[in-house]
């Protein structure tokens, strides 16, 4: 029986993804990208005896992703380059000595069964194989300006998994210089003169590189989004002072607002509204007022945290609406600056940020100038997988 091992390359930092964690750990409809890659690889290669994950040393996310996985998972500290990481993974396979090894990008969560079958079949006649796709768009050289056309008919896009006969490829990796760098692993086989085959790739096996790629992957899974709406309400009493903070803007009002943080009642209400849309409690759950480290902190810290939870859950903030309730200060002169500041904090277009004000016609504590209230609504688009 043919023994097959897999090296899942998950050592990259994913700088272009710009997430709060590497892209392989991004939430893809209830599972991480890495876990979906593992699951799909196992399904595509049912005869696999070993899974090898190559990851950066000190990876804090990996253990959770492989917990309960009913396969053999060997974790290997990766190197500074892909080639170094793959070589480290190859070394762990010496005792197993598999017939074949497949190397796959952890950021490619979809593997077509048909492609896997053709890779296995092709390796009966060659020493290495890779899935390829044609280049459809026009291709030009580029060095700050567009240059000459390139012959796209002679170009191919290369995907993973790439397959190799282990006894042929491992000695090559062993012989490489320590600082050797190759764009992918089939390039190592070509460098050594191994026989190389190709099979038709699959557009679904794309690599998640940018945030919009994750959204595409969610759509491919058939996970429709639902709209969640959260509301928030907050009050802060007035106290002697020269200025106060409202919606991220300091206003010289001749008085201040009392609070453990900077008492920005507008941002507090908005933060709670976002937590509400996520069913994540309220601002006091995440930033307890009894904790001295939050004393005097600027409220954009709280709002940024709420924003990060939206992204972590795979959601998108669509629109926010804040109503400030007070007699003083007058909000209209500051409203556009407030909208601009909230837009900056949330990374949201200004035309999706509504800020307005009202009074209570001199009634109640706001009418007497004893405090300022704010209410907010946040609309969030969430993946419908939970």
Domain annotation for the chain: domains and CATH numbers: 4-220 (3.90.550.10), 225-383 (3.30.1330.50)
Of the two residues 267 and 112, the one the predictor is more confident about is 267
Average pLDDT over all residues of the chain = 88
Asked if residue 96 has a cis previous peptide bond (ω within 30° of 0), the answer is no
Contact in structure between 278 and 315 (CB atoms under 8 Å)? yes
Q: What is the spatial distance between Cα 192 and Cα 195, in angstroms, rounded to a whole number?
A: 9
At 386 the pLDDT is 46
- This prediction has a pTM of 0.60
> Which SS3 state, helix, strand or coil, does residue 112 take?
coil
Q: What is the spatial distance between Cα 51 and Cα 315, in angstroms, rounded to a whole number?
A: 31
- The pLDDT tens digits of the residues spanning 327-346 come to 999 999 999 999 999 999 99
Of the two residues 15 and 85, the one the predictor is more confident about is 85
Based on the number of CB atoms within 10 Å of its own CB, is 141 exposed (0-12), middle (13-18) or buried (19 or more)? Answer: exposed
At 213 the pLDDT is 83
Contact in structure between 378 and 229 (CB atoms under 8 Å)? yes
Number of H helices, E strands in the chain: 12, 19
pLDDT category of residue 22 using cuts at 50, 70 and 90: confident
Contact in structure between 208 and 23 (CB atoms under 8 Å)? yes
Lowest mean pLDDT among 141-155, 277-291, 353-367: 141-155
Based on the number of CB atoms within 10 Å of its own CB, is 340 exposed (0-12), middle (13-18) or buried (19 or more)? Answer: middle
At 30 the pLDDT is 74
pLDDT surpassing 70 at residue 70: no
Q: What is the spatial distance between Cα 292 and Cα 110, in angstroms, rounded to a whole number?
A: 47
- Which residue bears the tokens 């946040």? 378
At 69 the pLDDT is 63
């Amino acid at each position: 029986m043919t023994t097959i091992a897999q090296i899942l390359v998950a050592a990259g930092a994913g700088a272009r993804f710009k997430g709060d964690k590497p892209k392989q750990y991004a939430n893809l409809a209830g599972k991480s990208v890495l876990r979906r890659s593992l699951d799909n690889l196992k399904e595509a290669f049912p005869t696999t005896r070993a899974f090898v994950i190559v990851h950066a040393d000190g990876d804090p996310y990996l253990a959770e992703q492989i917990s309960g996985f009913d396969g053999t998972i060997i974790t290997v500290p990766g190197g500074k380059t892909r080639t170094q990481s793959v070589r480290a993974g190859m070394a762990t396979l010496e005792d197993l000595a598999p017939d074949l090894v497949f190397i796959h990008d952890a950021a490619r969560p979809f593997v077509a069964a048909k492609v896997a079958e053709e890779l296995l079949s092709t390796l009966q006649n060659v020493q290495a194989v890779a899935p390829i796709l044609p280049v459809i768009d026009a291709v030009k050289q580029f060095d700050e300006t567009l240059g000459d056309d390139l012959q796209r008919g002679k170009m191919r896009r290369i995907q993973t998994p790439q397959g190799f006969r282990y006894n042929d490829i491992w000695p090559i990796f062993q012989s490489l210089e320590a600082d050797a760098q190759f764009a992918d692993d089939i390039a190592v086989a070509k460098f050594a003169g191994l026989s190389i085959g190709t099979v038709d790739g699959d557009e679904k096996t794309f690599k998640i590189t940018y945030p919009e790629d994750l959204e595409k992957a969610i759509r491919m899974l058939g996970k429709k989004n639902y709209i969640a709406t959260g509301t928030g309400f907050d009050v802060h009493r007035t106290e002697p002072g020269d200025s106060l903070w409202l919606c991220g803007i300091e206003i010289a009002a001749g008085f201040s607002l009392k609070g453990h943080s900077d008492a920005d009642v507008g941002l507090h209400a908005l933060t709670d509204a976002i937590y509400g849309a996520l069913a994540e409690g309220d601002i006091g759950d995440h930033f307890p007022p009894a904790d001295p480290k939050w004393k005097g902190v600027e409220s954009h810290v709280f709002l940024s945290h709420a924003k990060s939870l939206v992204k972590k859950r795979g959601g998108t903030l669509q629109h926010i609406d804040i109503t400030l309730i007070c007699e003083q200060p007058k909000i209209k002169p500051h409203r556009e600056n407030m909208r601009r500041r909230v837009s900056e904090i949330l990374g949201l277009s200004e035309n999706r940020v509504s800020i307005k004000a009202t009074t209570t016609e001199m009634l109640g504590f706001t009418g007497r100038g004893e405090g300022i209230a704010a209410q907010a609504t946040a609309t969030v688009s969430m993946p419908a997988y939970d």
